[in-house]
Structure 1
Amino acid sequence: MRSFALLSTVAMLAFLPLTVEAQSADKVPPTVDAKTNIYFYQGEQALSEALKRTPNTGRARNIILFIGDGMGINSVTAGRIFAGQQRGLDGASYDLSFDKLPYTGFSKTYSTDKLVTDSANGISAITTGIKTINGAIGVDGTVVGKKCRGSLKARVQSVAELAKLKGLSAGVVTTAGITDATPAGAYGHTPYRNWRADSDLTAEAVENGCIDLARQLVEAPAAIRMDVALGGDLTKFLPDTDPRKGTRVDGRDLTKEWQGQSPSAQFVSSAADLKAVDATKTDHLLGLFADGDLPSPVDTAQHYDVPGLDDMTAKAIDVLAKNPKGYFLLVESASIDKWHHQNNAYRAMTDVDELSKAVQVAMQKTNAADTLIIVTADHSHGLVFSAGSTREEPIMGLARNHGKDELDGNGHGRTTLSYATGPGGPKDGVARPTPTEDEAVSPDYTQSAQTYVDSAQHAGEDVPIYASGPQAHLLTGTVESSYIYQVMAYALGVQP
């Protein structure tokens, strides 16, 4: 006991001279004036803005749900840096438009049958509040994949359909085909996401009453039919006798059927035609700008007449906003996912920037007091963002320290961005050669992957949520993906 007391006294005395010295004003070590430091100043400004923040607990007149398909945290961070660098700015400190939204959280994206979701369950959980199996849309988890039998009874209404039933307008915009999984989350109900045209249906599906997603979009009862649908997939709407390469075997031209629903319904197939649409004279707008998915903006030199995601978003808002009761709009930046599957980070990050532009347009065209804007993802991807590069180096290039290559353990150069899986992996055990800097920064470069597969696999980590407007404060913390639906339905007052 005496030994313990003695040791305690010695320990206290050991600190005493430092304490006495610290109390002497002329002994305090000099410090930098914090207020001259940019990070300190920015922190002060951010705190000042946060202290002014008051949750908007009112009802939303409008909801715009943005989905960055496959946009995990690494995609946001790398996309932010890439976007800044493309503008000649410091990428690390650059802000995407949705970085500035006041409320953030995380979403758990698993499905009822898989640890890692696909886009079908990913969007279905968000738009219906009910998770389902991978590959299914707008139905509950009792369905059997690729089997129609019993699936009609498993149908679950989407928030877009509920908004329509309440008298609001609704629409969907995507850079994918309009019958792809994510856009179909607004209007579709199917146990198999690839039943996109009637030629895709199995005999069992036809026998048990399932219909393709293109028909579901056009044939939906007027009370729940989408007012705007902009994206790709023209071939899914045309008969196989059409010279525009239609794939329908039922002989129907669904674009004409869309136009036939009202005197002011329009169909357009080019950026020029979309720009010419008079929103004040259009109540139903279908735009199909490619046979399948829309091309990347990187490639628009070969596709002059394809609208950007921001252009489609702007036109959709103009058409939908005429409804005094409000609207629901789903906007998907699909090519983040499409190019991640190919290990092409340049085009994937370009589409993160495209999403940011579309969100900026929405923010400019709406009032934060009555419009709930949500930006999130259906799932992540295995993009890896590794250390090594100093801040002036291009994120698409090799890892370099002020121009000097940062080598791996084998003495080879390496890229800052890589993938866990994908076509960039070692095929037949043969590793890919190290690229040059010029090769690595090329838009066509395919980043290396740890494991070879034909198409990179999704990743299962939580994805971010960004929000502003009425009830946005409810989208904080870590939540189930299906919870996002609950917030939207509550904000619009459309709970079934």
Structure 2
Amino acid sequence: MGKQVNRALRFFAAGTVTAMSSIALAELPAYQQTSSWYANGEAALAAKLADTRTEKSAKNVILFVGDGMGVSTLTAARILDGQMRGESGEENLLSFEAFPHTALIKTYNTNQQTPDSAGTMTAMMTGVKTRAGMINVDSDGLRADCAGVAGNELNTFLELMEDQGRSTGIVSTARITHATPAATYARSPERNWESNDGLSEEAVANGCVDIAAQLVSLDVGDGIDVILGGGRRHFITSDDGGKRTDGRDLTAEWRDRYSEQRAAYVQSGSELAGTDLANTDKLLGLFTASHMSYDADRTAHDKDEPSIAEMTGRAIELLSKNEQGYFLMVESGRIDHGHHAGSAYTALHDTIAFAEAVKTATETVNLDDTLILVTADHSHVMTIAGYATRGNPILGKVETNDSHGAPTGAPALAKDDLPYTALSYANGLGFADLGGETNADARYYLPADTGRKDLTATDTQAPGFHQEALVPLGSESHAGEDITLHAIGAGAQLVQGTLEQNAVFHLMIGATGLPVSAE
């Protein structure tokens, strides 16, 4: 067999086999070189070669974190984004996917193959990996063990920037005390200690302070300059609809702290839009009691909450007044929550809104002195499968091609003679899903012998649809594969290869030249 293959290859190389083509192998025919695919690839390379940006130090750093934004989420979101404009979608790029520098990031925690947001964001903010569930506490400590914090505290990039006189800001569509934003400023062995009501008896006995209280009392520099997100309930007392049981109103304490400065506290999108930032030095915005709305719900119900792009723009406007520079962290926290609920619709729409926020930043800042990084903290178990035809609605049922490569014009059927969707989850709430019914008892955890449900008459592209899942879990889980890091601006050339997640901290240090030890 080997001799026959080698003989066939020699014949082909000698030009004996000519049935498939009449051109020489060393030449490219004109129709190949004029193909739009060829031209686009050639243009992309030319742009890469023409990128002559000199290596410069970054005065400003903006770190965008799409919580749960794995590679499959990026792919599906870019397709949906294009399809919402009437395109087939596959050729589309989200704003940051066009950035010139990209790397892969390994996300595991020190104690978990598949990570959580507390450990992953700690790695990015401190340069040190740690256990899942722990915020800026080294893994020599134990989760939820207050006594083990002493001697294991980790300082963050935000604190280093504050210490150097630069302005700082945090923006999140989640609670501002949630794991990802909290990891920019707090130290806690337990991510769930968002307000004092969540502290354990051991934590109280050993003097641990809840995350919200740490935020308003941060004593590095003059405190964080911009705080925008959800989670008001962790700052106010139960008498006012909050969670605190210690009688403290942290929003009042924040205003008292900055009473001699130009400070503004806002609770709605219209209030944020109406704030005179030219005459504001400190800005606190807590727009919801818990997490902010999914972007699709925000727009559909005309809620008076700012979009993530609007929060990003306002934060940059205020922070840019500091000529020494600034650090801004922007998190799209509800991408993660949409996936946990098994709702690709909400997760993908929040990803698209996140890309708009990155676009806002890119079009606003000076890239000669600003580094923009866009990444995730971990992935999710959503997958794209089924040999769907080009342009198949990414939230729709799979339609395949016939033997000639043309669309069949009808949904493909699985071995159980039922249609199936292009997106599905490896686990979660959508096990034996009824296809959008709202009765939770009927929807989830049906006996195995009932099989899948017939989605023929179900609108799988509707907001309320939950994709099917293979394994029944109370919440869809994170995934353990690598995520991406995209970079543009000063210092972006450092982003390349496959990196440990804690390298993100060192990339920011390298780009800014920030001192990390006492002189």
Given the two structures, how large is their TM-score scaled by the length of structure 2? 0.89
Tell me the alpha carbon deviations over residues 228-259 of structure 1, each in whole angstroms, 9 at most, x when there is no partner: 111100111111111xx111111111111112
Q: Which residue in the other structure is 1:326 paired with?
A: 325
Residues 264 and 386 of structure 1: CA distance in aligned 2, closer, same or farther (over 3 Å):
same
Q: 1:412 aligns with which of 408, 411, 418?
A: 418
Q: Distance in 1 between matches of 2:327 and 2:362?
A: 15
Q: Distance in 2 between matches of 1:337 and 1:12?
A: 53
Q: 1:48 aligns with which of 46, 49, 53?
A: 46
Q: Distance in 2 between matches of 1:480 and 1:190?
A: 23
Q: Distance in 1 between matches of 2:273 and 2:23?
A: 70
Q: Confirm or deny that 1:435 pairs with 2:455.
A: yes
Which stretch shifts more, 399-408 or 231-240? Answer: 399-408
Tell me the alpha carbon deviations over residues 118-153 of structure 1, each in whole angstroms, 9 at most, x when there is no partner: 000011100110111000011111111111002132
**How many pairs does the alignment contain?**
486
| One-letter code aligned to 2:246 | D
Q: Distance in 1 between matches of 2:355 and 2:389?
A: 25
Q: 2:254 aligns with which of 254, 258, 261?
A: 258
Name the SS of the counterpart of 1:439 in structure 2. coil
CA contact (8 A) 2:23 2:29 kept: no
Identity of aligned residues (%): 39
Q: Distance in 1 between matches of 2:61 and 2:204?
A: 35
Name the SS of the counterpart of 1:489 in structure 2. helix
Please, which runs of 5 or more residues in structure 2 have no aligned partner?
401-406, 433-444
- Aligned counterparts, 1:93-492, within 5 A: 93-223=91-221, 225-242=223-240, 245-262=241-258, 263-300=261-298, 301-302=300-301, 304-401=303-400, 402=407, 403-426=409-432, 427=445, 428-429=447-448, 430-436=450-456, 438-492=458-512
Name the SS of the counterpart of 1:257 in structure 2. helix
| One-letter code aligned to 2:139 | G
Shift of 1:468: 0.8
| One-letter code aligned to 2:117 | S
Dislocated runs of 4+, deviation >6 Å: none
Residues 53 and 250 of structure 1: CA distance in aligned 2, closer, same or farther (over 3 Å):
same
Q: Distance in 2 between matches of 1:220 and 1:293?
A: 22
CA contact (8 A) 1:169 1:320 kept: yes
Which stretch shifts more, 401-410 or 87-96? Answer: 401-410
Name the SS of the counterpart of 2:242 in structure 1. coil
| One-letter code aligned to 2:35 | N
Q: Distance in 2 between matches of 1:35 and 1:456?
A: 46
Shift of 1:31: 4.3
| One-letter code aligned to 2:487 | A
Residues 434 and 250 of structure 1: CA distance in aligned 2, closer, same or farther (over 3 Å):
same
Residues 412 and 163 of structure 1: CA distance in aligned 2, closer, same or farther (over 3 Å):
same
Q: Distance in 1 between matches of 2:233 and 2:302?
A: 17
Q: Distance in 1 between matches of 2:256 and 2:337?
A: 33
CA contact (8 A) 1:158 1:187 kept: yes
Q: Distance in 2 between matches of 1:398 and 1:59?
A: 49
Q: Distance in 2 between matches of 1:246 and 1:128?
A: 31
Q: Which residue in the other structure is 1:4 paired with?
A: none
Please, which runs of 5 or more residues in structure 1 have no aligned partner?
1-6
Given the two structures, how large is their TM-score scaled by the length of structure 1? 0.94
Q: Distance in 2 between matches of 1:13 and 1:354?
A: 52
